[in-house]
Structures are given as structure tokens and as C-alpha cells.
């Protein structure tokens, strides 16, 4: 079994981006600029944002972090989005999800200019993606594709089972892997909480993509020998032996699946760092427009 080292790969890609940014800067003085809006004090969101800001530094980007208390109103947040849409100096921006319950996430996402939507969540980008047109791809599926490509994992003709149908991971990766493209050309089964016999579906898969949000949900006895298993899940489980009182685990039981799979992503250090790298690649592209 080979571990797909997303952390190491992300470092290589960020180095490649930094070299491109240095070239662009030398040519015309431009530096890509990413802004991020963080509402509230959710510890997971704070940690994701810290990683994104750190990655901007590594890539030689400029970054702006706008932090707001969770008492912010929907109208005030919309005002910030409008400002970012029209600030020329900012190439792309993200509004970190989830947002507090009193704010309509869909309304905020719809307000983002698709040309600056480097998270690839706006329906305009989603629609373009579904039709195979150039667009900002959603960061996590894009990171998975990049990982499959760089590790030269054959996807053409493979049977891929995606578990979870969220708008940001499960649904878009099922579309992307079924496209006539490389990576792609998979026969995809998109499964979810209402799937009748999930174990039977997973057992047939050459590629399993788990985006469920349940710790260690997929075990070794469910996976076909030699399959590629991509674990998107990031779950905090209590662990008194750790200083911070918890550890991160995926949706895949690493120990048992590693005895059966051909390739497997770890958590942490797998899909997560690749997601951040995709955000950097989208921002670089946005800055070239
Ligand atoms: P979500 O939380 O919006 O939805 C979960 C999905 O899992 C739903 O579609 C549901 O139908 C499915 N599901 C739930 N229980 C199931 C069951 N018993 N059997 C089959 N399917 C079931 O999904 P999400 O936002 O894609 O997040 C999934 C996980 O991925 C979370 O742990 C999240 O933290 C993580 N995540 C990681 C990254 C990353 O960069 N690595 C990015 C996004 C999300």
C-alpha cells in the first residue's frame, strides 16, 4: 500500500507557484492577492484560515484577512462581499464556511463575483464545471484530481464510488471524475445516506472517495483489495493523551484499510493540504485575468 502524501505534494506545488509568482512580479510588478472573510470563532474554521494565510505567504501572495464577530448581520456581510467584488487590487476571495445560523450561506455565495470566486462555489462556476468549460473548480475536488494526476493513478474506465453528496465535495468530484478528461473517464456511483446497500457499492470500487463526516466509517473489510481510497473527512475525536484534547481522523479507518488498499490518503496530511493548494492555484489564475 502506498500512502498518498498530500502534505509533501502540496509543498512541491506551492514551491512551483512561488516560482511563477516571482517571475510575474519581476515582469510586471504584480502579486496575486487573496482575501478571506472569517465570521465568528469556530476553532476548525480558524485553523483552516491560518493555513490559507500561511500558504499565501509561502506562495508569495498578498493576503488580507477580514475577521468579524458572529453578531454581524447578513446585510453587513453582503456589504463586505460587494466591497471585495469591486476592489480591483483583490484578485479572489473566500468567505469561510460554515456561517452562523442567522446568515443565509446561499445568499452570500450568490453575491460573490464568479470571476473572484476562487473557492469555486458559485453556481456559475459549478455550471461551467459540469459542462467542462473553463472555471474555478471547487478546491477539494480539484486537489483530489491533482493528487490522482501527480501520482499517475489510472482513472480511465475505473469504477469510482463517491460517498457523500455535498455541493462542495461529493457532487462535484462525481461530475469531474465522470467527465471525458484526464483524470476522469470513470464510471461513477454517487452514494449517500439513503443508499440501500452501501457496503455492496463500495466493494465494487476501484476508487473510493469518502466525504461523509463520520469518523472511521469505512473499514478494511468494505474495500476491494488494491483500491485507491481518498479520505476527505476531517473529524475531531476526543483524545486525552493529546495536549489539545482531541485528534483528527478521517472517514476511513486508516489502520484496517491500509492493509487492503493499493493507495490511501492519510488524515491529516492527505486531501486537506491539497485543498489549500488548489485555492492558491485558483488565485494565481484569477490574478492573470
Ligand atoms: P456534508 O457534511 O455536507 O454531508 C455529508 C454527506 O455524507 C451527505 O451527503 C450525506 O448524505 C452523506 N452521509 C451521511 N451519513 C451517511 C451514511 N451513513 N452513509 C452514506 N452517506 C452518508 O459533507 P462535506 O461538507 O462534503 O464534508 C464531509 C467531510 O469532509 C467532513 O468531515 C468535512 O469536515 C470534510 N471536508 C474536508 C475537506 C478537506 O479539505 N479535506 C473539505 C471539505 C470537507
Distance CA 103, CA 224 (A): 42
The angle subtended at Cα 55 by Cα 81 and Cα 120, nearest 5°, is 45
Active site residue 96: yes
pLDDT per residue over 217-228, tens digit each?
Answer: 999 999 999 999
CB half-sphere exposure, 2, CA atoms < 13 A: 13
In a domain, 134, yes or no: no
Same domain, 107 and 165: no
pLDDT at position 250 is 98
Integer angstrom CA distances of residue 273 from 50, 168, 266, 270: 12, 16, 11, 6
**Domain endpoint, select from 95, 113, 131:** 113
Residues 92 and 161 in one domain: no
Beta-strand ranges (E) seen in the chain are: 2-3, 33-39, 62-68, 92-95, 159-163, 187-191, 207-210, 228-231, 235-238, 246-249, 263-264
CATH number, residue 59:
3.40.50.10860
Residue 210 has a pLDDT of 98
In a domain, 194, yes or no: yes
Ligand 1 center from residue 210 Cα (angstroms) = 8
pLDDT of residue 289: 83
| Cis amide leading into 98 (omega within 30) | yes
Bridge partners of 68, per DSSP, are: 39
Element (H, E) at 21: helix 6-28
What is residue 212's predicted lDDT score, i.e. its pLDDT?
98
Of 33, 67, 32, the C-alpha closest to 50 is: 67
Q: Decide if 257 is inside a domain.
A: yes
Assigned domain for 221 exists:
yes
Which of the residues in the chain have pLDDT under 50? none
Is the C-beta atom of 235 inside 6 A of ligand 1?
yes
Instruction: Please count the CA atoms within 13 angstroms of the CA of 145 that sit on its side-chain side.
Output: 24
Q: Single out the catalytic residue among 91, 119, 206, 253.
A: 119
Number of structural domains in the chain = 2
User: How far does residue 197's CA lie from ligand 1's centre (Å)?
Assistant: 18
Check residue 127 and give its pLDDT.
97
The answer to whether the CB of 270 is under 6 A from ligand 1 is: no
* pTM (2 d.p.): 0.97
- Does one domain contain both 144 and 263? yes
8 A C-beta contact, residue 68 and residue 38: yes
Question: Does any ligand 1 atom lie closer than 6 A to the CB of residue 236?
Answer: no
Same structural domain, 145 and 229? yes
Q: How far apart are CA 210 and CA 172, in angstroms?
A: 13
Question: 178 lies in a domain?
Answer: yes
What is the three-class DSSP state of 247? strand
| Domain around 203 | 139-271
Q: Is 59 inside any structural domain?
A: yes
100: cell is 452562523
Query: Are residues 80 and 147 both part of a single domain?
Result: no
Residues 61 and 164 occupy one common structural domain: no
CA-275 nearest atom, ligand 1 = 40
Amino acid at each position: 500500500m502506498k500512502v498518498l502524501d498530500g502534505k509533501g505534494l502540496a509543498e512541491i506545488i506551492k514551491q512551483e507557484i512561488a516560482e511563477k509568482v516571482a517571475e510575474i512580479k519581476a515582469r510586471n510588478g504584480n502579486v496575486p492577492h487573496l482575501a478571506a472573510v472569517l465570521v465568528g470563532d469556530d476553532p476548525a474554521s480558524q485553523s483552516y484560515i491560518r493555513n490559507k494565510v500561511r500558504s499565501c505567504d509561502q506562495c508569495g501572495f498578498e493576503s488580507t484577512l477580514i475577521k468579524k464577530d458572529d453578531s454581524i448581520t447578513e446585510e453587513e456581510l453582503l456589504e463586505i462581499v460587494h466591497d471585495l467584488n469591486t476592489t480591483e487590487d483583490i484578485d479572489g476571495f473566500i468567505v469561510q464556511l460554515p456561517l452562523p445560523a442567522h446568515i443565509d450561506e446561499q445568499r452570500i455565495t450568490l453575491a460573490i463575483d464568479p470571476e473572484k470566486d476562487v473557492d469555486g462555489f458559485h453556481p456559475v462556476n459549478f455550471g461551467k464545471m459540469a459542462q467542462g468549460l473553463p472555471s474555478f473548480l471547487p478546491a477539494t475536488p480539484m486537489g483530489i484530481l491533482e493528487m490522482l494526476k501527480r501520482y499517475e493513478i489510472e482513472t480511465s474506465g475505473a469504477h469510482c464510488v463517491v460517498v457523500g453528496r455535498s455541493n462542495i465535495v461529493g457532487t462535484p468530484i462525481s461530475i469531474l471524475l465522470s467527465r471525458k478528461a484526464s483524470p476522469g473517464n470513470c464510471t461513477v456511483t454517487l452514494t449517500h445516506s439513503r443508499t440501500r446497500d452501501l457496503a455492496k457499492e463500495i466493494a465494487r470500487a476501484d476508487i473510493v472517495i469518502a466525504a461523509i463526516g463520520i469518523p472511521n466509517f469505512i473499514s478494511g473489510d468494505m474495500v476491494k483489495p488494491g483500491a485507491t481510497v481518498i479520505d476527505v473527512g476531517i473529524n475531531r475525536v476526543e483524545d486525552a493523551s493529546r495536549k489539545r484534547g482531541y485528534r483528527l481522523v478521517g472517514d476511513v479507518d486508516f489502520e484496517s484499510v491500509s492493509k487492503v488498499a493499493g493507495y490511501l490518503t492519510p488524515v491529516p496530511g492527505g486531501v486537506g493540504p491539497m485543498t489549500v493548494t488548489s485555492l492558491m492555484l485558483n488565485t494565481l489564475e484569477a490574478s492573470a485575468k
